[in-house]
């Protein structure tokens, strides 16, 4: 069972997540937080659009 304050977080997964599983998830996310933070802090030009369908074309 998940305690009431954490229930909305657990529900985000779309399936039952016991509190013990949430603790493991939190530890894993903490492990990658620094690298994701670096990504967030990157100042990319406003006109850089995301690649939504990745394909590689020959360079001409």
Partner 1 sequence: MPWHSLAEAAEAVRTRVVSPVELTRLCLERIEPVDRAIHAFASVDAARALKEAQTAEYEIQGSRYRGPLHGIPIALKDNYDTRGIPTRNGSQVFASRIPDQDATTWERLTNAGAILLGKTTMSEAAWGVDFPPVRNPWDVRRNPGVSSGGSAAAVAAGLCFMAMGSDTGGSIRIPAGLCGVVGLKATYGRVSRAGILPHTWSLDHAGPLTRSVEDAALTLRVIAGHDPRDQTSADVPVADYLSGLKKGLHGVRIGVPREHFWERIQEGVQPVVRQALDDLAAAGAQVEQVSIPHMTTALGAILVTEMASVTAWHDKYLKQPERRAKYTPEVRALLDAGKFIFATDFLKAQRLRRVLVEEVRAAFASVEVLATPTLPLCAWKVSESHVEIAGQAEHVLHACWRFTYPWNLTGLPALSLPCGFAEGLPVGLQLVGRPFDEAMILRVGHAYEAATRWHERRPPEPVVGAR
User: Contact residues for partner 1 (CB under 8 A)?
Assistant: 12-17, 21, 24-25, 28-29, 31-32, 35-40, 42, 44, 48-52, 54-59
Let me know the angle formed at the C-alpha of 21 by 15 and 27, rounded to the nearest 5 degrees. Answer: 125
Shortest spacing between CB 37 and partner 1, in angstroms: 7
Looking at the Cβ atoms of 3 and 41, the one nearer to partner 1 is 41
Shortest spacing between CB 38 and partner 1, in angstroms: 5
- Please compute, for residue 54, the number of CA atoms within 13 A of its CA located in the half-sphere on the CB side: 0
CA 8 to chain CA centroid, nearest Å: 17
């Amino acid at each position: 069972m998940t305690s009431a304050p954490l229930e909305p977080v657990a529900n985000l997964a779309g399936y039952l997540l016991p509190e013990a599983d949430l603790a493991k998830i939190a530890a894993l996310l903490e492990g990658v937080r620094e690298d994701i933070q670096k990504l967030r802090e990157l100042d990319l030009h406003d006109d850089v659009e995301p690649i939504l369908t990745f394909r590689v074309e020959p360079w001409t």
